[in-house]
Amino acid sequence: KLLETRINAAVELRRGLGLPSAITNAYRLVNSEGDRLSGLIVDVFGDLAVVASSAAWVEKYKSKVKACISSIDEINHIHWRPSVEILKEEGMDAADLKELHPSTCPQRTKVIENGISYAISLEGQKTGFYADQRENRMFLSMISHGQRVLDVCCYSGGFALNAAKGGAMSITGTVNVILSDILLGVDTSLPALELARENIALNNLDPEKTSFLREDATVFMKGALSRNDSWDIVILDPPKLAPTRKVLQSASGMYRNLNSLAMKITRRGGLLMTCSCSGAMTQSGTFLRTLQGAASMAERKITVLRQSGAGCDHPIDPSYPEEALHDDDDDDDDHGGDDF
């Protein structure tokens, strides 16, 4: 009964936030402690729900969790993604986490977010889609008109696609088109780039004007710097570099170096949207200090224009503020704090 009550409350909360809607059907339905369901995350992609379980109780009551989610009107399929390493720490046997019956859930689906279509692979990173960046992507689309935009660590191209929607500048057809003339996304993951390229076609964008490149972020940015390439807006959204507080110091160095490069390839007076999904960085205030260090390295003066985090469908329980810091037992890499 408790489970049903809390899942129903989570559904009601999202309905109150206008989710799903005619223009967005990818969102977080259950956000662990934020919905009083510690260890349970549910992302909804159209008629499909992806359940990320990281607590023994979720596995124990799996059939009840599934029944509650199946009873939600729009949900036709459930994809179960146990966080095996965390569950093993909780004393669970890996063999018990295997699905007994082969899944009938489709492995790919399509969603719409703020009017932009995305292909999602359920084998993809996280639950398959970074729904937490929805509001930040929309903000980017509002400021992209006529701007040259670079999306570093782009995954399936969410920021680049929003920049395109917002009218970011792209030049083609000239003799010497340089990379900064094209709306560009960069990532090392081939499956992610395949999705990004599919998304260009899904949204009827010109592949010559919006392009995705497989390259390491540091290598790409150093190359751009050596070619004197720069962009009006740079988005930097690396993976979680500080998964635990123990590695905070070394991760700060990595964030500083990446951000310093990103600042150098942002034109003077331009905008850098820099993200961290490491709770240990953002909640401890280390991220802003790291950005200041990056600015000194880049010999740039910076001001912070806007600080934001995950979308409002990712509630946090204020009586459990440590939640965002507990990366040690949480492999969900939500964007706890993103800064301009």
Ligand X SMILES: C[S@@+](CC[C@H](N)C(=O)[O-])C[C@H]1O[C@@H](n2cnc3c(N)ncnc32)[C@H](O)[C@@H]1O
For residue 172, CA distances in Å to 182, 186, 304 come to 7, 19, 33
- Tell me which residue of 310, 309, 313 sits closest to 30, measured CA to CA: 313
Select 257 or 284, whichever has its Cβ closest to ligand X.
257
C-beta of 125 vs 308, nearer to ligand X = 125
Please tell me the distance from the alpha carbon of residue 226 to that of residue 215, in angstroms, as a whole number.
16
Buried b or exposed e, range 78-114, using 16+ CB within 10 angstroms: bbbbbbeebbeeeebeeeebeeeeeeebeeebebbbb
Distances (CA, A) of 131 to 27, 98, 136, 164, 233: 6, 26, 10, 19, 22
Q: Give the shortest CB-36-to-ligand X separation in angstroms.
A: 26
Nearer to ligand X, 189 or 230 (CB): 189
Query: Rounded to 5 degrees, what angle do the CA atoms 82, 88, 93 make?
Result: 90
Look up residue 159 and give its DSSP letter.
H
C-beta of 143: minimal distance to ligand X in Å?
16
And the tokens for 36?
């009083």
User: In whole angstroms, how close is the CB of 56 to ligand X at the nearest point?
Assistant: 27
The two tokens of residue 64 are 């009840």
Taking the complex as a whole, the smallest distance from the CB of residue 195 to ligand X amounts, in Å, to: 9
Q: Which CB, 156 or 282, lies closer to ligand X?
A: 156
Question: d(Cα 53, Cα 332) in Å, to the nearest integer?
Answer: 10
Nearer to ligand X, 69 or 147 (CB): 147
Minimum distance of ligand X from residue 185's CB (angstroms): 9
Beta carbon of residue 275, minimum distance to ligand X (angstroms, whole number)? 7
Min CB(119)–ligand X separation in Å: 12
- DSSP H helices, 144-216, are 158-165, 190-202
Nearer to ligand X, 46 or 239 (CB): 239
Question: Which residues form the interface with ligand X (CB under 6 A)?
Answer: 125, 130, 133, 153-156, 158-159, 187-189, 192, 216-217, 237-239, 277
Q: Which is nearer to ligand X, 27 or 159 (CB)?
A: 159
